[in-house]
Chains A and B, each alone.
Chain A
Amino acid sequence: MIIAERKPFTEIRQMLAPYSRVLTVGCGTCVTICWAGGEKEVGILASQLRLAAREDNKEISVEEATIERQCEKEMASSIRDKVSNVDVVLSMGCGAGVQTLAQVFENVPVIPALNTSFIGMPEQEGLWAEMCGACGDCFLDRTGGICPVVRCAKGILNGPCGGTRRGGKCEIDVNKDCAWVLVYRRLNGQGRLDMMEKYYQPKNFRAVKRPGRIASVKA
């Protein structure tokens, strides 16, 4: 799922400086799970904004709302009445959520409270790891289910590079595994090392021509 984290508090306050009536909007899907922008986090951020304004002797009103999926136009429309009472919408959704709100409420500034970072999963409680680069040309069958596009620091297809550190760690961070060492171990364990021994041509980096657009049919 999408992993995001809240922007530094000072940055959020700076963006909100010109406004005195704020609606903080959370999302009930990915950002709830990764503890970044769900209903709870909306409550906390709204409370912090009120406390900070009081400390600065400033007037601010902060309303709260959470939408099940902020990136759905119909769901976003459900908060129309609340939006009409404020000067600015502070979105705690991922980038898709922020932009959907911005599209639906075209005349109201929509500000991102989160930095959307990657598609990932929980390695353990509270620790999210990047898994997928949305490259549009998935070849996980050949790498034992480990994606080198994002889990290899250089994103290379014929790895590892010469920078692997002792013990199979990544050149850029001793706490990160070299993805290609992981691929080697996984494929070796499955008796499929031939998948790693094959030569892979340069990647099609235009598999998804950005901005991406996909049309699909419901079954």
Chain B
Amino acid sequence: MTNDIIAFCCENSAYTAADIAGREGLHYSERVKIVRVPCAGRVDAIHVLKAFENGCAAVLVLGCESGACRHINGNERAKKRIEYAKALLAEAGMSQQNAAMFNLAPNAPHKFVKIVQDAEKSLKGASE
């Protein structure tokens, strides 16, 4: 078990936000491992399942705000896929809480940090 928090970050929003957060020295957990994707819609249910198979603690998918997706509706497709992935996890007897999707703008480094910190907090909360 790696305990990682895998964050699939859309390069047009979340990845940029994470980058700014890094450059501004905003602190967030080392458990967060960022995976850059061209669009949140690139993330399939199998990627979420595989991440858990590899022992991660949580999977986050971060994409553009509603209406801002450069690929028209990749973020909406991602939302549906994450819901589907959560149902698959539930079938396998795992908690649905540990997979989630979020939307943010590229110039929102604080929001990025809050998302990943909140994710870590709820993991800590669940294990206590």
B53 contacts which chain A residues (CB < 8 A)?
A: 47, 50-51
| A51 adjacent to B94 (CB under 8 Å) | yes
- The CA-CA distance from A50 to B88 in the complex, in Å, is 12
- The CA-CA distance from A32 to B77 in the complex, in Å, is 20
Q: Quick one: which of B62-95 are within 8 Å of A by CB?
A: 88-89, 91-94
A47 contacts which chain B residues (CB < 8 A)?
A: 46, 49-50, 53
Chain A residues bordering chain B, tally (CB within 8 A)? 13
23 examples of A-B residue contacts, CB within 8 angstroms: A9-B91, A9-B92, A10-B91, A40-B44, A40-B46, A43-B46, A44-B46, A44-B88, A47-B46, A47-B49, A47-B50, A47-B53, A48-B91, A49-B92, A51-B52, A51-B53, A51-B89, A51-B93, A51-B94, A52-B91, A52-B93, A55-B93, A56-B93
Q: Besides the contacts A47-B49, A51-B89, what 18 more A-B pairs have beta carbons closer than 8 Å?
A: A9-B91, A9-B92, A10-B91, A40-B44, A40-B46, A43-B46, A47-B46, A47-B50, A47-B53, A48-B49, A48-B88, A48-B92, A49-B92, A51-B49, A51-B92, A51-B94, A52-B91, A55-B92
Q: Would you call B116 an interface residue if the criterion is a C-beta within 8 Å of the partner chain's C-beta atoms?
A: no
Q: Would you call B32 an interface residue if the criterion is a C-beta within 8 Å of the partner chain's C-beta atoms?
A: no
B91 contacts which chain A residues (CB < 8 A)?
A: 9-10, 48, 52
B88 contacts which chain A residues (CB < 8 A)?
A: 44, 48
Residue interface mask A1-18, B partner, CB < 8 A = 1: 000000001100000000
Q: Quick one: which of A29-79 are within 8 Å of B by CB?
A: 40, 43-44, 47-52, 55-56
Q: Quick one: which of A101-135 are within 8 Å of B by CB?
A: none
Question: Which 3 pairs from chain A and chain B are nearest by CB?
Answer: A47-B49, A9-B91, A52-B92
> Which residues of B line the A interface, CB within 8 A?
44-46, 49-50, 52-53, 88-89, 91-94
A51 contacts which chain B residues (CB < 8 A)?
A: 49, 52-53, 89, 92-94
A40 contacts which chain B residues (CB < 8 A)?
A: 44, 46
- The CA-CA distance from A61 to B65 in the complex, in Å, is 40
| B49 adjacent to A55 (CB under 8 Å) | no
Q: What is the chain A residue whose CB lies nearest that of B45?
A: A44
Q: What is the chain B residue whose CB lies nearest that of A51?
A: B92
| B94 adjacent to A55 (CB under 8 Å) | yes
A18–chain B nearest beta-carbon distance, Å: 19
For A40, A43, A48, A50, which residue has the most chain B Cβ atoms within 10 angstroms?
A: A48
A49 contacts which chain B residues (CB < 8 A)?
A: 92
Q: What is the chain A residue whose CB lies nearest that of B88?
A: A48
A33–chain B nearest beta-carbon distance, Å: 17
B16–chain A nearest beta-carbon distance, Å: 30
A52 contacts which chain B residues (CB < 8 A)?
A: 91-93
Q: What is the chain B residue whose CB lies nearest that of A47?
A: B49
A127–chain B nearest beta-carbon distance, Å: 15
A10 contacts which chain B residues (CB < 8 A)?
A: 91
B99–chain A nearest beta-carbon distance, Å: 12
